[in-house]
Structure 1
Amino acid sequence: MKNEKQKQPKAISMPHTFVIIFFVVLFAALLTYLVPKGMFQTEEITYSDQGNEVTKTVLIPDSFEYETDESGEAVKEGVRLFEPFGEVGILNYVFEGLVSGDKWGSAVGVVAFILIIGGAFGIVMQTKAIDHGLLSMINKTKGKEILLIPLMFFLFSLGGAVFGMGEEAIAFAMILVPIVIRLGYDAITGVMITYVATQIGFAASWMNPFGVAIAQGVAGVPVLSGAPFRIVMWIIFTAVGVAYTMWYASKIRKDPTKSLAYSTSEYFKKKQDSEELKADFKLGHGLVVLTLTLGIIWIVWGVVKHAYYIPEIATQFFIIGFVAGIIGVIFKLNNMTVNSIAESFTQGAKDLLPAALVVGMAKGIVLILGGDSPDAPSVLNTVLYHAGGLTDNMPAALSAWFMLAFQSIFNFFVVSGSGQAALTMPLMAPLADVAGVTRQVAVLAFQLGDGLTNIIVPTSAALMGTLGAARIDWGTWFKFIFKFQIVLFILSSIFVIIGALIAF
């Protein structure tokens, strides 16, 4: 007797982010047995940035040399499975990655930043001020919800272009993802209008202080020069991002089941439905929203005026959450008590814990390869040196495109814009001279390769933090963003080749 029901083919599921990183760690460990370690000498250079003198430590391109043993042979020091006494072994990658760096960056600083932001916004969300404010807004803007997408995308892209907005998108995703889901879209839409928008702005910027300004200074190009070309580029990239996001969002609103993040969106919907809130925006809710608004203005002012970074911004968000909690207790918002402040902070931090762990694990990949310091022996330095020499005897336009491709790939290992500029631009700038490409084009290849691949690489702390806030696994995100990433790379290639052809 034949079964009436036929077996349905199993859907292919992407491996968990932790699994993907583990296999990348194994690949990195294999490279340490095949590729010898190398290092550069470094020097300090000084350049002017908006009237201020900036000093940066960079590598000297012609100073590369292999680490050698007593017989003069290049050292291939394969990483062992386990290393005691604080050294890096294959299975040490989680702990060593989590405790590496300092409070100013990856990994320990970014991990703390993610957890504090999660906790702070856990308090803000516990007050229900955002929920009641949103319901009131929906009631007043019936039929105009689609306008939220281009408006938010434009503002976040502008933030990325003007002051290098990136990690801050994590906090905004915690607010906007539930909003767009309540409006009928999905969590992916929320990530697109926050984090993806910031990175498009970051990459196509004419004045980003953490990317283009540093790269131009290191390359010996006048800082913030070439702005007209880049402003046109930013407008086109942002328009493409808005169009793609609106097309996707409209499709999901018509049929939510087409979303790769359907289960995630259902989680938020069930949470919203279980609370059965009705629009009841009171004075206390208004004070929480005012606190959040003034806090964001304070953060933007600090970044633009005083170059605030991870330690300062994390504390600013903590203060926002703390004040919101006090307001919640005084006005008895959602029946909050003093203990509710602590409990909601804990829950918010817990929600972003997986993203914080990914940051440490991803940093472990770089540590396995010997770290990203140019004057310390590492496999990464050897790869950087040999990749830099591949542009010899290429046509100018092809050399420029190869620089873009190289910067895009190298960004997997060094996602920091300023860090990648210090590592790669001292090599790319003189290579551009030899290849007949202007140094301005070399900077263009750097900023597009660095910024846009942050949208997809799992080693990006800001991306993983934003996905954590949206409750989207990296494998799911990869399946969605891959096609759009190709569009962005083609568009980047066009601009870089045009730049080479017109001697930008």
Structure 2
Amino acid sequence: MAKNLKVEDGKVLEPKKKFKMPHLLWIMLGLLLIASLATYVIPAGNFAVDQDGNVLGDQFKFIGHQTPVSPWDMLMYIMDGLNQSSMIIFLVLAAGASISVLLASGAIDNILNWSIYKLQDKGLPVLVSAMFILVVYIGGFAGSDALIALVPIGVIFARKLKLDPIIAIGITTFPALIGFGTGPQTQLIPQMMIGITPYSGFGLRFLFMNIFMILGLIYLMRYIKKIQKDESKSLMYSEGWRSNLTGQANVGEGGIKEEKLQVTSILALVSFITQYLVIVGYSTMGGDLNQLYNFIIVINIITAIVIGLLTQMSFDKIGDSFAKGLASMAFIAFIIGLARVMSIILTEGNILDSIVFYMTKPLMEINRSFATVGMSFIISILNPLIPSATSKAAILIPIIEPIAETLHLPKQVAIQAFQFGDGFTNMISPVLGWTVGSCVAAGVTFTKWVRWVLPAVIIFMLVGFVILVILTSIGWTGGSV
């Protein structure tokens, strides 16, 4: 008799089927269908604009009729979503190709094996902390969806240390989103749109990023220690993960074997890290921002070639690795395009302004400090509806500015409220290609990821709210730091 079948009263009972999360493709299409149907229900309306096209956040009017986006039109917008996401899609593809060459070179394998051997007694906190801090800074100064390509490194890292697949995201996308959501580099466009000096408040935002980095690292380390003590505490235990089944290189009966650190491995890793420093330098030291994405792709390609040559890979192997990297990111790139369709549907259906209006109206009637917190909270709710950071800024900043002026809030504080609201819920957004794509790459169901990261998101938001109250009370303008 089959092992999993049960017999009761002489009858064979079929095993109960556990709920299985639908494939990401169906989740995305389902969310788009819901958005389409919402355009039939939510009253259509728009904010007024002045003669220069600026949105007047205190002047809203319902259209008086619905402007629905039919399910068929929704599907027809998929190409528009892909086109509008083309830059970031190409960045993801190029970055994926670059990281694929790095992985094929064996440099990461060599460095991890050597590090684990040298620090096997007390090295886990050092290894995790070093990688976590590095990725936070990368996210803070050069963050984009392209960093999803780091997840395969996290997978190798988790396997080497006999940790579950959640750690693969926890050591890559999690810190990258912390840096991206709190770092000083990412607010260039919102600052320019609201009319304050680009990169003003840099020093204080850099401090905020480090505060959240420490909180995130503590959160991750607590989970690692918990599953090391009892692997059944892992959220992936019910999915079949076991530490003794995790693929380990160079592990024998005597423990981890010694491996010599190759100079070429160090040079390859340094080259990989240097590409981000070059990109940050270009964007902050006078580079043409209109050419920034072009520049990033060029640097990705050059870096892949340099890494291949440094590690003595053949030209064919470099080419094959590059091609495999592109292929591995193809579905993720498509998901990023679908995520953009959400914004198109809500905008074409004229319900995005209605949603924003209903959610921001209460801010006009409460204390300034709590209004700032409320503004950030509302943006955090809207965040999943507008997964593109640039699109979110384009839609919300013109609305936030008049609200801030009405409440006599410094524009710098309004930008900080926008940043915190925009940043933290990215980690649980079901329509953000960066987040859901990372789950796909790591082999973690989205529900498991949300269950793991949600407490951290709540902690981050509460700390962010405290910071906003303090900044509002002192009238921070960002002039000195």
1:295-306 alignment, distance < 5 Å:
295-305=275-285, 306=287
- The equivalent residue for 1:317 is 300
- In structure 2, the partner of 1:29 is 36
SS in 2 for 1:26: helix
Secondary structure, counterpart of 1:124 in structure 2: helix
Task: Provide the C-alpha distance between the structure 1 equivalents of 2:345 and 2:389, rounded to a whole number of angstroms.
Answer: 21
Matches within 5 A, 1:292-371: 292-305=272-285, 306=287, 307=289, 309-327=292-310, 331=312, 337-370=314-347
Give, in whole Å, the separation in 2 of the partners of 1:436 and 1:300. Answer: 34
1:247 shift after superposition: 0.4
After the TM superposition, which residues 371-450 of structure 1 pair with which residues of structure 2 at under 5 Å, given as runs? 378-435=350-407, 437-450=409-422
Kept in 1, the 8 Å contact 2:56–2:402? The answer is no
**Percentage of pairs with the same residue:** 24
Secondary structure, in 3 states, of the residue corresponding to 1:392? helix
SS at match of 2:461: helix
How do 1:55-66 residues align onto structure 2 when only pairs under 5 Å count?
58-61=54-57
Aligned residues: 459
Alignment of 1:91-106 (within 5 A): 91-98=75-82, 100-101=83-84
Q: What is the root-mean-square deviation in Å for CA atoms of aligned residues?
A: 3.6
Deviations along 1:110-129, one digit per CA (max 9) or x if unpaired, are 22222222223222212222
- Superposition deviation, residue 41 in structure 1: 3.5
Asked if the contact 1:169–1:466 (Cα under 8 Å) also holds between the matched residues in 2, the reply is no
2:125 paired residue among 122, 142, 146: 146
Q: 1:127 aligns with which of 70, 85, 105?
A: 105
User: Any residues of structure 2 matched to 1:211-226 within 5 Å, and which?
Assistant: 211=187, 213-221=188-196, 223-225=198-200
Q: List per-residue Cα deviations over 1:356-380 (Å, max 9, x = no partner).
A: 2211111122222235xxxxx7322
- Residues 1:139 and 1:32: Cα distance change in structure 2 (over 3 Å): same
Structure 1 distance, partners of 2:395, 2:244, is 42
Change (3 A) 1:478 1:309: farther
Q: Is the contact made by 1:37 and 1:378 (CA closer than 8 Å) also made in structure 2?
A: yes
Answer yes or no: is the 8 Å Cα contact 1:122–1:347 preserved in 2: yes
Structure 1, residues 117-158: CA drift from partner, whole Å, max 9, x if none? 222322221222221222122222222222122233333333
Q: Provide the C-alpha distance between the structure 2 equivalents of 1:381 and 1:154, rounded to a whole number of angstroms.
A: 38
Give the alignment partner of residue 180 of structure 1, picking from 143, 158, 164. Answer: 158
Q: String of CA shifts for 1:418-466, please: whole Å, max 9, x gaps.
A: 4323322222232234335443432221110011122221332333443
1:238 maps onto 2:213 in alignment: yes
Taking structure 2 as the reference length, what is the TM-score of the superposition?
0.81
AA matched with 2:74? I
1:43 to partner: Cα distance? 7.0
TM-score, length of structure 1 as denominator length: 0.78
Conserved? CA contact 2:39–2:346, under 8 Å: yes
1:203 aligns with one of 161, 181, 184: 181
Unmatched segments (≥5 aa) in structure 2 = 1-6, 477-481
Deviations 1:396-438 (A, max 9, x none): 3332222112111222232343432332222223223433544
Paired residue secondary structure (1:79): coil
2:365 aligned counterpart, secondary structure: coil
Give the drift of 1:280.
5.3
Alpha carbons 1:388, 1:427 under 8 Å: kept: no
